[in-house]
Structure 1
Amino acid sequence: MRLLMVGAGNMGGAMLRRWLAAGLSPADVTVVSPSGRAMPDGVHVVPAVPDAGEGGFDVILLGLKPQQLALLRDGPLAGHAPRVLVSILAGVEEATLAPLCKADAVVRAMPNLPVAIGQGVVALFSTAADDAARAELTEWMRPLGLVEWIADEAQFDDVTALAGCGPGFVFRFADALAQAGTALGLPQDQAARLALATLAGSASLSAEADVTPATLADRVASPGGSTREGLNVLDRDDRLVTLLTETLAASAARNRAMAAAARG
C-alpha cells in the first residue's frame, strides 16, 4: 500500500509510527511537510503535494489542521485517484472532502491521542466505502486501538467530542485528582503518581470487567464507607454527569462550527 500523508503532526505522526511498527514499509510512505518536520527513517518527506504523474497512491490521508483545508482547494490533489481518501480533520464533512481528489471512497476518521501506544480509539464514517474497503480500513486501523464505524455522519461531531477530545478531559481529571490529594496534605509528586496509577489501574479493570463502570463503582463503595461518602458528593444532583454533559456539548458545538466554516 502506497500512502501519501498530507500533514503529519502530533496525531498523524503517532499514527504513522504505529503503522510502521505493525509492518508498513517506510519506502511506501510519502509525507507532505512544508516545514520539513523530522519523520521516521526511510519515509519520503516532500515540501508540497507531488504531481499525480509521480506515482499513484493507494491511500491519501489528510492530517493537517482543519483551518488549513483552504490550501487544498486550489487543486493540488485534483489529479490523484487513490482507492481511499482518509481525513482526520475534525468537523470537516464528507461532502466537503469529496471534491478534493478522485478517490473511490472518502472516509472520515477520528483518532484520539492514545493511538500513539496502540490503545486509542478510531471512529470511522463513509457513505461510499463498500464492505471490502471497510474491512481493509478496519484492519489498517486496528494497530491503533479500538475501531468503530459510525452509522450517521450527524453523530460524528458527538463521537469526536467523546473519544477525540476525551483524553484531554481525562488528563484534566487526573490532574484534579492529584491536586485534591495535595490539598489533603500529600506531597505533590506523590499525589500525582498515586492519581495516575489509580486511574490507569481502574481503567484497565473496567475494560476487562463483565459489568458496567457504574456497577463497579457501587461494588467498591461499602454502605457507610469512605468511598460511598465521596461518591455521594459526585452523585449529588447528578453533578458529575451534568458537568461532563456540558463539557461534551461544548466540544460538539465547536466541531459543528468548524464544519460550517469548512463548508464556506
Structure 2
Amino acid sequence: MSGAMVEGWRLAGLDLSNAVAIRPSGRPVEGLRVVTNFADAGLPPRLVILGVKPQQLDEVGPKLAGWITSKTTLVSILAGVEAKSLRERFPKAGVIVRAIPNLPVSIRRGVIGLYSEEVSEELGFELSQLFAMLGYAMWSSSESALAAIGSVAGAGPAYVARFIDALAKAGVDRGLTQELAQTVALETVLGTSWMAATTQESMDEMVRRVASPNGTTEAGLAVLSRDDVFDKLITLTISAASRRGSELAEEARRSSLLAEPQGTA
C-alpha cells in the first residue's frame, strides 16, 4: 500500500526528492531514494509513513523508535493496530496518526480514512492536503469509525474485483469470449460508478432507471433480492474483514503488554 501511495503522489506531481524509502530488501521504489537500514536514511524526518505488515511491527518498531524524534509525525497505515498500541511503541514521536488508504490511491481515486487524538488544527490541515492528492480523504471521529472505513473502503476493491470477475464469468457462460466478457463487465461497473458519482443519484434511483417492470433486469434483481441474500452476503463479508481487524488490534495490544518489563514481587 505504501507503494500505491507513492505512485499517487508522483502522479499528482508532489516533489519527493527528499523522501527516502527504508526497505531491507533494497528493492527500488521509483522516484525515491532507497536504503536498507535506518543508519543510511539520514537525519530523523518530519514525517514517517509506517507501512509494514502488522505482524512485523515488533520487529521494525524498536529500530524506528530509536530514529524518530519529538518533531516527527508518524503516520501508520497498519490495519488494526490502534493509536494506543502505536504510542506505547513510539513514545518519542511528536504526533501519531492512523491512516487507512485503499489501493486506488495509486491513480488518485482512493479513499483514505484518517484518525488522531494528537493532531493540531494546522497539522491536520496539512495532512488533509497531502492525502487529498490521493483521492477522498476524511478525518474519523473515533477508531471504530476508522475501522468501519477500513472494512468497506480498504477491503472493498478486492470485493468489487471479485464481483467484476463473476459478472465476466456469467458473460462467458453465455458465449462471450473471456476478453470481451471481462471488458464488458469492467466497463459496466466503471460506467455505473462514474454515472452515480456524476449525477449524485441514489442507488435505488439508478436501479429504477435500468429495471423496467417485468423486464429482464427485474428478473435478475428478484434473485439478488430474494430473502435479502445479496445484502446478507455483503454484510457477512464486511463483518469478516472487521473481525480480522479486531483480532489484529488485540494481537498488537497483547504483544505490547508482553514487551513491557515485568515488576518484582
Q: Same fold (TM over 0.5)?
A: yes
Of residues 153, 172, 193, the one that matches 2:183 is 193
Q: 2:65 corresponds to which residue?
A: 77
The whole-number CA distance in structure 1 between the counterparts of 2:210 and 2:184 is 18
Of residues 40, 45, 48, the one that matches 1:57 is 45
The answer to whether the aligner puts 1:89 opposite 2:71 as a matched pair is no
Q: How does 1:59-208 map to 2 (within 5 A)?
A: 59-81=47-69, 82-98=71-87, 99-208=89-198
Q: 2:36 corresponds to which residue?
A: 47
Deviations 1:82-136 (A, max 9, x none): 4411011001100111132522221110110111111110111111112111111
The answer to whether the aligner puts 1:216 opposite 2:189 as a matched pair is no
Q: What SS does the corresponding residue of 2:17 show, helix, strand or coil?
A: helix
Task: Give the superposition deviation at 1:77.
Answer: 2.3
Q: 2:245 corresponds to which residue?
A: 255
The whole-number CA distance in structure 2 between the counterparts of 1:79 and 1:26 is 20
Q: Which amino acid aligns with 1:44?
A: R
Computed over aligned residues only, the root mean square deviation of the Cα atoms, in angstroms, reads: 1.6
The answer to whether the aligner puts 1:235 opposite 2:225 as a matched pair is yes
Q: 2:13 corresponds to which residue?
A: 23
Q: What SS does the corresponding residue of 1:76 show, helix, strand or coil?
A: helix
Q: What SS does the corresponding residue of 1:148 show, helix, strand or coil?
A: strand
Q: What SS does the corresponding residue of 1:27 show, helix, strand or coil?
A: coil
Task: Give the superposition deviation at 1:15.
Answer: 0.7
The whole-number CA distance in structure 2 between the counterparts of 1:260 and 1:108 is 16
Task: Give the superposition deviation at 1:229.
Answer: 1.1
Q: 1:7 corresponds to which residue?
A: none
Q: 1:8 corresponds to which residue?
A: none
Q: What SS does the corresponding residue of 1:108 show, helix, strand or coil?
A: strand
The whole-number CA distance in structure 2 between the counterparts of 1:72 and 1:231 is 49
Task: Give the superposition deviation at 1:79.
Answer: 4.2
The whole-number CA distance in structure 1 between the counterparts of 2:231 and 2:210 is 19
Q: What SS does the corresponding residue of 2:96 show, helix, strand or coil?
A: strand
The answer to whether the aligner puts 1:225 opposite 2:205 as a matched pair is no
Q: Which amino acid aligns with 2:68?
A: H
Task: Give the superposition deviation at 1:150.
Answer: 1.1
- Greater shift, 182-191 or 83-92, is seen at 182-191
Task: Give the superposition deviation at 1:157.
Answer: 2.2
In the alignment, structure 2 segments of 5+ residues that lack a partner are 256-265
The whole-number CA distance in structure 2 between the counterparts of 1:225 and 1:244 is 25
Identity over aligned pairs, percent: 39
The whole-number CA distance in structure 1 between the counterparts of 2:67 and 2:25 is 24
In the alignment, structure 1 segments of 5+ residues that lack a partner are 1-10
Q: Which amino acid aligns with 1:170?
A: V
The whole-number CA distance in structure 1 between the counterparts of 2:64 and 2:134 is 29
TM-score by length of 2: 0.90
TM-score by length of 1: 0.90
